[in-house]
Amino acid sequence: MNKLAVIAFGGNALLRSGQKGNYEEQIKNVMQTCDSLTDLLKQNYNIVIGHGNGPQVGNVMLQHEAGKKKFDIEPMPMDFCVAETQGSIGYLIEQGFRNILLREKINRNVVTLLTQVTVDKNDVAFSNPSKPVGPYYKKDEADAIMKATGAIFREDPKGNGWRKVVASPRPLHISNIELIKQLALEENIVISVGGGGIPVVEDGDIKGVEAVIDKDLASALLAVEIGADEFYILTDVEKVYINFRKPGELALNHLTVAQAEEYLAQGQFAEGSMAPKIRAALYFVKNGGKECIITEASQLSNPNCGTRIFW
């Protein structure tokens, strides 16, 4: 029976440091990342792809803002912007995979699913929005938007200006999860939970909310709910480190759950960087997954790649 794996694409799978994010750059990056997964396909893995959308959703919000200023076109809410990027990034990943499948003469379909992810309307994250999104503003501009819309802005600690902040609630359930599993087990390459998923709450009706869900945690939840054997988190380093870029820096080949939790408690993993990935890995392993591998995409051809986290 084929192994089932979930692979969470990091931001550098789409857009790399110093790039502008145009179509040519992104499709080239995606091709390279998809190419790295060829070995898994040749080993008859069934795979589901999750991905980030940070730079892309920021660009969408800038486009909406420009449309408002120039043509008085009302900007769309956050959940709509996430849906936009799920479609556009899904297209790029599909294009990358289809070209590789043609080249390698592998007969598989590739499908992107717009994915809603349910969160708790009473999640404490909504009372303390902390995830910065969208463009930077001057203080008077931010004050005017806050007054007009009720949005919350905070000053960037690096002095770039003021940015809107939204909640980052914990994902609870992924829509169409049985369909995602069925498609994957039928050997289709499935792209889902893009950008962490379109955040929705169930309050009588289902409705979108102003929030950003962590894409690694959403991908971990996806991996648990479809019973994946392995969970890969692709990032811009080959392995997880302790004392990263400090004296005593050490790359880790293996991490038990207990070791990972201890290092987290010590503050070894930076928030907004490696810490969320470690938490996602722990969620997967503690909820039935066999192992999580954190690595850089180009290393996937090495059977001993990355840092492997298990019980």
Q: What's the pLDDT at 47?
A: 98
Give the span between the Cα atoms of 194 and 251, in whole angstroms. Answer: 29
Q: For strand 254-256 and strand 307-310, is the pairing parallel, antiparallel, or unpaired?
A: parallel
Where, residue-wise, is CATH 3.40.1160.10 in the chain?
Answer: 4-120+170-303
**Is residue 138 annotated as a catalytic residue, yes or no?**
no
Higher pLDDT: 181 or 12? It is 181
| pLDDT at position 103 | 95
Look at residue 19 and tell me whether its pLDDT is greater than 90. Answer: no
Cα–Cα distance between 117 and 208 in angstroms, integer?
A: 10
Give the model confidence (pLDDT) of 103-151 as tens digits: 999 999 999 999 999 999 999 999 999 888 888 899 999 999 889 888 8
- The per-residue pLDDT for 58 is 85
Over residues 148-198, the pLDDT tens digits come to 888 899 998 888 899 999 999 999 999 999 999 999 999 999 999 999 999
DSSP 147-207: HHH--EEEE-TTSS-EEEEEB-PPEEEETTHHHHHHHHHTT-EEE-SGGG-EEEEEESEEE
Residues 6 or more apart whose CB falls under 8 angstroms from that of 135 comprise 58, 61, 62, 65, 163
- Identify whether the C-beta of residue 195 lies closer than 8 Å to the C-beta of residue 219: no
Topology adopted by domain 4-120+170-303: Carbamate kinase (3.40.1160)
Residue tagged active-site, from 131, 164, 181, 239:
131
Predicted confidence (pLDDT) per residue in 202-244, tens digit? 988 999 999 999 999 999 999 999 999 999 999 989 999 999 9
Out of 164, 181, 215, 239, the active site residue is 215
128 as an active site residue: the answer is no
Q: How far apart are CA 173 and CA 180, in angstroms?
A: 13
**How far is residue 181's CA from residue 226's CA, in Å, rounded to a whole number?**
5
Is 208 considered catalytic here? no
Per-residue model confidence as pLDDT tens digits over 52-95: 998 888 889 889 888 988 999 998 999 999 999 999 999 999 99
Distance CA 183, CA 220 (A): 18
Give the separation between CA 197 and CA 37, rounded to whole angstroms: 22
DSSP alpha helix (H) spans, 193-252: 215-225
Q: pTM for the whole thing?
A: 0.93
Annotated catalytic, 290?
A: no
